[in-house]
Amino acid sequence: MANARGGLLVYGVSDQIDLVGVNLAAADKKQMLSAVRNGIQPYISGVDFIDLPAPGGKGPDVLVVDVPPSEMAPHFQYGWEQKDKDRVTFNAPYRINDDAFYMTEHQVARAYRERFARQNAAEAHLKAYLAETTEVVLNESEGSPAWLVIAARLARPVPRMAPTPTRLEAKDVLLKAVKTAARVKDAFAGPAVLSDVLNLIHRLDVCGQFLGERRSAL
C-alpha cells in the first residue's frame, strides 16, 4: 500500500465481509510496528492505528491501520519462500484494489527517479525559503536580535479515519501552543514581536469569550 496510493487495513472483518471483531486490548501494536520495521526497507513512517470500539460496548470492536502513500517508495519486503528449500525473498509489492502485484525492474527504476525528484524539489524549496528569510531578517532587524518563525505543513493528508476535532479541542491545542510560546519568549531577550502576537491571541480569545457569553445571554 505504501508503494501505491496508501490504504486501510481493517482487522475485525472477515473475507466474507462479516463483522467479526477483534480484541482491542490484546492487539499488540508495538509488535506490528516491529514487523514493519524489521521486514520492510526503507522503514514506512506515518502508520496510524485507530481503535474503533463498538458504541456503548455492545458489538464487535474493529482495529484500523492507516498506511499512507510513502514519499520514500519503493519499499522492499524481506521474507522466506518455500521452494525446494527455504530461500530469502526480496521484492517490492504494491496493491491495486484487492490484488497484490510485484514491481518489475522498470517500475522500481521509475519509483527511485520519482523519489529523488521529490527530494531535489524539497531541497530547492528549502534553499529558496532560507534565502528569502535571510534577506528579510537582515533588512529589517538592523543589528537587533530577530525571531525566526517556521510553519510546517503536512507531508501527507490527515488520516482518513481521524475524527474532526471539536471547537473545545482546537482551543485547547491553541492555548497549549500559546503557553509554549510564552515559555520560549521568557528564555530570550529580544524584540517584542512575539509579545505582540501573544497579546493579539489573548485579545481574540477574550473577544471570543465575550461574544460567546453575549450569544448565550441572547
Weakest-pLDDT range from 15-19, 112-116, 207-211:
207-211
Rg (CA), the chain: 25
Give the orientation angle of helix 193-217 with respect to helix 167-186, to 10 degrees.
Answer: 150
Q: Can you name the residues that pair with 136 across neighbouring β-strands?
A: none
Specify the pairing of strand 76-83 against strand 85-91.
Answer: antiparallel
Only one residue has cell 506490528, namely 32
Only one residue has cell 489573548, namely 202
Classify burial at 125, counting beta carbons within 10 Å of its beta carbon; exposed 0-12, middle 13-18, buried 19 or more: exposed
Q: Could you tell me the sign of the dihedral formed by the alpha carbons of 85, 90, 91, 95, in that order?
A: positive
Nearest residue to 181 via CA among 193, 198, 168: 198
> pTM of the entire structure?
0.61
- Residue 208 pLDDT greater than 90, yes or no: no
- Residue pair 2/111 in contact (Cβ under 8 Å)? The answer is no
pLDDT tens by residue, 84-123: 556 667 889 998 877 889 999 999 999 999 999 988 998 8
Q: Could you tell me the sign of the dihedral formed by the alpha carbons of 181, 186, 189, 190, in that order?
A: positive
- Residue 214 pLDDT greater than 50, yes or no: no
User: pLDDT class for 135, splitting at 50, 70, 90?
Assistant: confident
Cα–Cα distance for residue pair 67/70, rounded to 1 Å: 9
- Any idea how long the chain is? 218
- Residue 212 pLDDT greater than 90, yes or no: no
User: pLDDT class for 199, splitting at 50, 70, 90?
Assistant: low
- Residue pair 12/61 in contact (Cβ under 8 Å)? The answer is yes
